[in-house]
Amino acid sequence: MKTIRLRKGRERSVLKGHPWVFSGAVEGGEAAAGELVEVCDSKGEKIALGWYSPASQIRVRIVPDAPIADLIAEAVGRRAAFYADDAVTAIRLVNAENDLIPGVVADCYAGHVVCQFTSAGADARKEEIADALMKFAPFCQGVSERCDVDSRAKEGLATEPAFRVLRGAEPPELVEIAENGVKFLVDVRRGHKTGFYLDQRDARATVGRLANGADVLNCFCYSGGFGLFARACGAASVTQVDISADALALAKKNEALQHYCGTAMEYVEADVFQFLRKCRDEGRKFDFIVLDPPKFAATKGQLMKAARGYKDINLLAMKLLKPYGTLASFSCSGAMDAEFFRTVLAEAAEDAHRPFQIVAHTHAGADHPVRLSFPEGEYLKGVVLRSIT
């Protein structure tokens, strides 16, 4: 087995359990893409094993000394409680570094497992991983792969074909799932991420509980998740806004799956920033606004620009709230931690000249665990604010 030697003092994060070794920490040693290597300190003493990625700034991803099939079985087994819950038919089975399998995401949609392999080590073992998922994931009908993810290019990995079946049955064009009484159609071939924002399950439930009787504006609605939960919980009206016509078309199909409840539904194809300004200029107000934008900051270097974007959009939303209105605001930018996000929201509230109280914090659900020694795994954060004037 080849050896990667670290610079003096750079072994500390590895010894503390952090799963990444950056290129600047490496003193010497090389290996093929995806090859299993020994990681040694500056004295040559072995401290860990890892998958080598010569094209990536994350040069080595630390892995346990265990068969990959065992790691998959353990990750799937930790989700056993979800399989006993018929109300939820879509869950995350493997959450990458947080489940000790770097660069492996596996999401199950009603028995159809869709994977992303975003590290060289994961990509080199995709066939073995697919076999393990077929064996250990209950009700698994097939395993497919999504390659159209930007992080694969940073690893020097192919991004085509965008979708392919690795094992078992090919999924239907749209997979129907259930989530706590609400049904969704998931486009596993072309949809965002692996097809759906499974990480927002708990947040959708929180928004629904608070939306009864409200006029709701759901921004960056994608396939309509927050808006449909608000509708299911008795919202008076829901306005779904997204820049993508395809997303809105899917949101309308999802609405058609639900029981009729009398909530007035509106769909608007628009840039959210422009739509919010249009509402401001027209004097239009809402009881409840949801902001779930795409990632504004992929790196620390983009953080301050992203902060300005988050502040601007939240400031616009705060000004559109009726008295005692509610704002659910989210950030999926891993470079922005929860404390900084709250600071940005506080500054927006100050500029809006409105006092707010925090009524809830939201995070990814229990099937998206965060490893304690890997804070980067806690990318998603949400804050639900209520105006007290």
Residues annotated as catalytic are: 332
Largest Cα–Cα distance in the chain? Answer: 70
In the numeric block, the tokens 């608070």 are attached to: 210
Residue 255 φ/ψ, nearest 5 degrees: -60, -40
Helix H, strand E, coil C: the string for 200-229 is HHHHHHHHHHHCCCCEEEEECCCCCHHHHH
Contacts of 32 (CB under 8 A, 6+ apart): 52, 54
What is the DSSP-derived secondary structure letter of residue 99? G
CA distance 157 to 148: 10
Q: Do 275 and 246 meet the contact criterion of CB atoms below 8 Å apart? A: no
Q: Is 87 helix (H, G, I), strand (E, B) or coil?
A: coil
Q: Do 154 and 177 meet the contact criterion of CB atoms below 8 Å apart? A: no
With 0-12 / 13-18 / 19 or more C-beta atoms within 10 angstroms meaning exposed / middle / buried, residue 270 is middle
CA distance 107 to 70: 18
CA angle 201, 197, 356 (to 5 degrees): 60
Residue 383: closest CA among 365, 359, 366: 359
Q: Do 52 and 37 meet the contact criterion of CB atoms below 8 Å apart? A: yes
Q: Do 126 and 107 meet the contact criterion of CB atoms below 8 Å apart? A: no
| CA-to-CA dists, residue 388 to 20, 188, 337, 355, angstroms | 44, 41, 26, 6
